[in-house]
Amino acid sequence: MRAVLTLLTTLVSTGAIAQMDLQLMQKANGLAEIMAKSAACGYEIDQAKLDEYFAKSGLDNPETLSFISSSVQTAEFLGKPTPSDCTIARSTARSIGVLAVE
């Protein structure tokens, strides 16, 4: 099921992917994971810090926004993350500087 959803997201985002290099796509996907898991994992994202990271990382364009939005929707559809998923997402959010004060 996950593979099918991933494939569908990829097909929907094909235009966005065509405009993105691999590194940018990985950053966008990682950010989408952090955003999608925040509520279920009980952490908050500092919106001002997210805005700064988004621009600084070169993610501030319509193609990347489309890719991130599709990735967030897919991640949310897949259901509740595991405790390990939450730990990794929270740690990464802290590492990139977007985690709100805990």
For 49-92, what is each residue's pLDDT tens digit?
999 999 999 999 998 999 999 999 988 888 899 999 999 999 99
**CA–CA dist 40, 23 (Å, integer):** 27
Residue 101 is predicted with a pLDDT of 84
- Provide, rounded to the nearest whole percent, the portion of the chain with pLDDT above 70: 79
What mean pLDDT comes out for the span 6-11? 50
- Provide, rounded to the nearest whole percent, the portion of the chain with pLDDT above 90: 60
Token code pair at residue 41: 């994992």
What mean pLDDT comes out for the span 21-42? 93
Residue 78 is predicted with a pLDDT of 85
pLDDT value at 11 more than 90:
no
**CA–CA dist 85, 62 (Å, integer):** 28
Angle 76-64-7 from CA coordinates, rounded to 5°: 50
- Could you tell me the CA-to-CA distances from 24 to 4, 12, 40, 56, 61 in Å, in that order? 23, 18, 26, 12, 11
